[in-house]
Amino acid sequence: MKPLIACLVFTSLLALPRTSHGDERWKITMRTLENSLQALLYESSSSPRFAEALKKESFQKEIARFSSTASELSERKGTSGDADPSIELISSLFKQEAQHLQWAAKNKNTEYARHLVLSMTQYCVACHTRTSGGIEFSSRSGNEKIEALDAAERASYLISTRQFDLALAELQKQLSNQKLPEENIRDWERSTRMALSLSIRVKNDLSATQALLTQLDANPRLPEYLKAQVSVWKKSIQDWDPKSLPKTEKALNAEAKKLIASAKKTQEYGMDPSAQVYLLRASALLHEQLRLFPRGKLTGPALHDLGLAYETLESVGIFELKDYYYLLCMKESPHSAIAQSCYRQYERGVYDGYTGSGGTHVPEELQARLKELKTLSTPTQKSGAKKPL
């Protein structure tokens, strides 16, 4: 059961300047995060090592620095040079999780704190892999410090520090182990997802994506159902021309919608990963739409569709992210058919999240919150009798 934090909907969205890169303050925050992350991961390669480190005041201070830099990031979101509201959503989730880490470390909750350090990169990854563009490094100093981590953790670190080519190479090396699907199917799934997200969204590179899919397909030990999945992924790039990126809000949104429709057709069940490649392509377009037109006419529908895409792409985003997109969608387009559709998705998540073997128990405050959100999303008489979706 995962608590859904529903407080974000009433915070204001900043209108960001349309520069393509972050300003100096943003860069300094990022570089500080990089140093801190490196220091934390260095001690996280094993439980005993981490337990020893936690006893040291200097390590506790490093964790505190990481957490305060994450909070700073959340305050500085307006300096990132990227108007995609995802920056605000992800930085607020990142800040909460970093505070959590500081709390766990202080209380010597060793295993939990170590787990949190290792999963911290997912926030860096979620922000850095939304779409292509932005600074990229061929290599950075200090990579040797993370050599003791496992392959997926190393790749996440490399993405977190924007060494995208090295990250892709690391993932391909891991996937070249033909026994991987038999040894650990979760690792295979996670690494293919990360690699595809890199080649499709960050590198925007058709031949790199083809090469990756050919490599996956060539594995004779791949179980039949994954072979079928890879063949759907191959089909999903047949019409892809990375050079023809639509320019207007309408065209970006229309193209994304088309891809989401294709994704739905390929899914044989709820979160069937067969749709992954279409959804990665669609989400890159939606992030681009929101970056260029953060408060446009089609912001509500884009947020709704990102929520949907991240239901399946969970592991390249963050678990709660989809709910935040639905919340923001209701705020951005209140009393509309699209808000109503976002409300229903959000409500479904709440009921799912609060159902366990003991039945369904939605906390009272969340029930009250749902009521407010329902009012916020229901079309009013005045706004015209729009048909619910």
Query: What does DSSP assign to residue 103?
Result: H
> For ligand HEC, which stretch binds (CB under 6 A), given 109-117, 156-164, 184-192, 351-359?
156-164
What is the token pair recorded at 337? 């058919």
Q: For ligand HEC, which is the closer residue by CB, 98 or 263?
A: 98
Q: Which is nearer to ligand HEC, 262 or 289 (CB)?
A: 289
Residue 290 Cβ vs ligand HEC, minimum distance, rounded to whole Å:
13
Q: Which is nearer to ligand HEC, 135 or 185 (CB)?
A: 135
Among 156, 160, 174, 315, binds ligand HEC (CB under 6 A): 160
Interface with ligand HEC, residue 294, by CB under 6 A: no
Instruction: Give the one residue of 78, 134, 142, 379 binding ligand HEC; rule: CB under 6 A.
Output: 134
Sign of the alpha-carbon torsion through 215, 220, 221, 224: positive
Total residues at interface with ligand HEC (CB under 6 A): 25
Helix extents (H) in the chain: 24-42, 47-54, 57-75, 86-106, 110-119, 121-128, 151-160, 164-175, 180-183, 185-197, 206-217, 224-235, 249-266, 276-292, 299-312, 321-332, 337-353, 364-377
**Among 180, 171, 262, 260, which Cα is nearest to 226's?**
180
Contact call for residue 18 and ligand HEC (CB under 6 A): no
216 binds ligand HEC (CB under 6 A): no
Query: Please, are residues 347 and 355 in contact by the beta-carbon 8 Å criterion?
Result: no
Instruction: Compare residues 75 and 183 and give the one whose CB is closer to ligand HEC.
Output: 75
**127 touching ligand HEC, by CB under 6 A:** yes
Regarding 82 and contact with ligand HEC (CB under 6 A), the answer is yes
Q: Which of residues 84-113 bind ligand HEC (CB under 6 A)?
A: 87, 90-91, 94
Residue 21 sits in the site that holds ligand HEC (CB under 6 A): yes
- For residues 345, 369, 296, 320, the Cα torsion angle rounded to the nearest 10 degrees is -60
**Residue selected from 6, 9, 16, 22 as contacting ligand HEC according to rule CB under 6 A:** 22
Q: Based on the shown chain and the rule CB under 6 A, indicate whether residue 249 belongs to the binding site for ligand HEC.
A: no
**Region near ligand HEC per CB under 6 A, out of 25-33, 315-323, 331-339, 351-359:** 25-33
Query: Which residue number, 162 or 369, has a Cβ lying nearer to ligand HEC?
Result: 162
Neighbour tally for 100: CB within 10 Å: 14
Please state whether beta strands 355-356 and 359-360 pair in parallel, antiparallel, or not at all (unpaired). Answer: antiparallel
Distance CA 199, CA 263 (A): 18
From 39, 105, 124, 230, residue interacting with ligand HEC (rule: CB under 6 A): 124
Is residue 288 a contact point for ligand HEC (CB under 6 A)? no
Largest CA distance in the chain: 64
Per rule CB under 6 A, is residue 320 in the interface with ligand HEC?
no
CA–CA distance, 75 with 68 (Å, rounded to integer): 11
In the complex with ligand HEC, the residue whose CB is nearer, 22 or 353, is 22
- Helix residue ranges, H only, 151-245: 151-160, 164-175, 180-183, 185-197, 206-217, 224-235
Q: Residue 21 or residue 264: which is nearer to ligand HEC going by CB?
A: 21
Q: At what angle do helices 110-119 and 86-106 cross, to 10 degrees?
A: 160
* Residues near 288 by beta carbon (within 8 Å), at least 6 away in sequence: 131, 245, 252
**Cα–Cα distance for residue pair 9/18, rounded to 1 Å:** 24
Q: How far is the CB of 243 from ligand HEC (least distance, A)?
A: 21
User: Is 110 or 161 the residue whose CB approaches ligand HEC more closely?
Assistant: 161
**311 residue type, one letter:** E
* Closest approach of ligand HEC to the CB of residue 27, in Å: 4
Long-range contacts of 54-61 (CB under 8 A, 24+ apart): 54/105, 54/108, 54/110, 54/113, 60/105, 60/106
* Binding of ligand HEC by 80 (CB under 6 A): yes
Query: Does 251 interact with ligand HEC (rule: CB under 6 A)?
Result: no
From 121-129, 175-183, 246-254, 363-371, give the range in contact with ligand HEC by CB under 6 A: 121-129
Residues that bind ligand HEC (CB under 6 A): 21-22, 27, 30-31, 33-34, 37, 80-82, 87, 90-91, 94, 120, 123-124, 127-128, 134-135, 160-162
